[in-house]
Amino acid sequence: MTHIKNVFLKPGELVVSPTPVIIQTVLGSCVAVCLLDIKSGCGGMNHFMLPRSSKKNLSYKYGDYAIAQLISQVSALTGNTHFLVAKIFGGASILKELTSSIGEKNINLSLSTLKENGIKITARDIGGAEHRTIHFDTSTGRVRMYRANKSKTRIMLPVAKQALGKQKILVLDDMISRMVSLKMFLQQKGYKVAISSDPDAVLKKQKQSNMDVLIANADSAVKKVDGIYFYVSCKDDNTKKDVTVVVHEATGSLGKVIFDNGYADYYLDRINTEADLNKQIGNLLKAMFNQKSNIQ
């Protein structure tokens, strides 16, 4: 029996393979383009977050660069683009006031770029207001798609292992007592912790490589933080250091949107008390730095 390799694609990543592979990903307002050479069976997929990059920001997070590279890398394996076909998915409006324009721009960029390159789109499931999970099998060209159920799910992703106590953690919130409580709790665990209610100061620390982990309250009413674009800036490629972003919230839905669209690495919901926040963050950090995942 032949076993086909499975690959999970995170936001801002691209996979191309000359051999059969099943590529999986989860989409919100992000878009994935599945590309296949129907003659050779070579194929690949990207998962991009925003439509356009800049000359200083060439990254698979951006659709113009991610699609161009996908076409280039697949055609490099086959020698031409004559037999390429594409399928596109995603571009949902999870919260209309936050992501409708992002999803729509991602979709339009995908359609126009594929048309400009003369690549036929054989299937699409785009727009709407639901998350999608897709499985692209390059051995057959088929895509299985599942629409996300409405139940709350907490998903954790592993990060690189570091020595406990060496991490610089910054807590961003609009409630001083909650920040101080979490700071004292984490300091007792051996972490180096700073607190702030100023998002500009947070981004400055990031650019100076003075932060390893950002813990932000998505329910916050802090100016410039009550929206998705602050978190986009936290993942900007111009920064010197890749910061792990943790968002938490009590009753809202912004945190889930931020996480689902790839602007946060971890998401904690139903955090209603300081004690609960301290416990959940403590467990999460312990799991992160010991290479464990799926902590509830």
Count the alpha carbons within 13 Å of 199 in the hemisphere toward its beta carbon: 19
Q: Give the residue from 139, 155, 124, 123 showing the smallest Cα distance to 40.
A: 139
Torsion angle defined by CA atoms of residues 169, 173, 177 and 180, in that order, rounded to the nearest 10 degrees: 10
- At residue 242, the pLDDT reads 62
Q: Are strands 31-37 and 43-47 parallel, antiparallel or unpaired?
A: antiparallel
Query: In the chain, what are the domains?
Result: 5-147 (3.30.1330.200), 168-288 (3.40.50.2300)
CB atoms within 10 A of CB 141: 17
Count the alpha carbons within 13 Å of 115 in the hemisphere toward its beta carbon: 6
- At residue 89, the pLDDT reads 94
Count the alpha carbons within 13 Å of 157 in the hemisphere toward its beta carbon: 17
The terminus-to-terminus CA distance of the chain in angstroms comes to 36
- At residue 234, the pLDDT reads 67
- Helices of type H across the chain: 63-78, 96-116, 176-188, 199-207, 229-234, 254-260, 274-288
Dist. CA 132–CA 124, nearest whole Å: 12
**Could you give the residue numbers annotated as active site?**
30
Across the chain, the runs of DSSP E, i.e. the strands, are 5-8, 13-17, 21-27, 31-37, 43-47, 84-90, 120-126, 132-137, 142-147, 168-172, 192-196, 213-217, 244-248, 266-268
Write out the two tokens for 139.
Answer: 């051995």
Tens of pLDDT along the chain (296 residues)?
456 788 988 889 999 999 999 999 988 889 999 999 998 999 999 999 999 887 667 889 999 999 999 999 999 999 888 999 999 999 988 665 454 578 889 999 999 999 999 999 988 889 888 888 899 999 888 898 887 644 333 333 333 334 444 678 989 888 889 999 999 999 988 888 989 888 777 777 766 666 778 898 887 655 555 455 566 666 654 444 567 788 888 877 777 777 766 677 778 888 889 999 998 888 878 766 653 333 22
Q: Amino acid letter at 23?
A: I
The β-bridge partners of 263 are: none
- At residue 271, the pLDDT reads 84
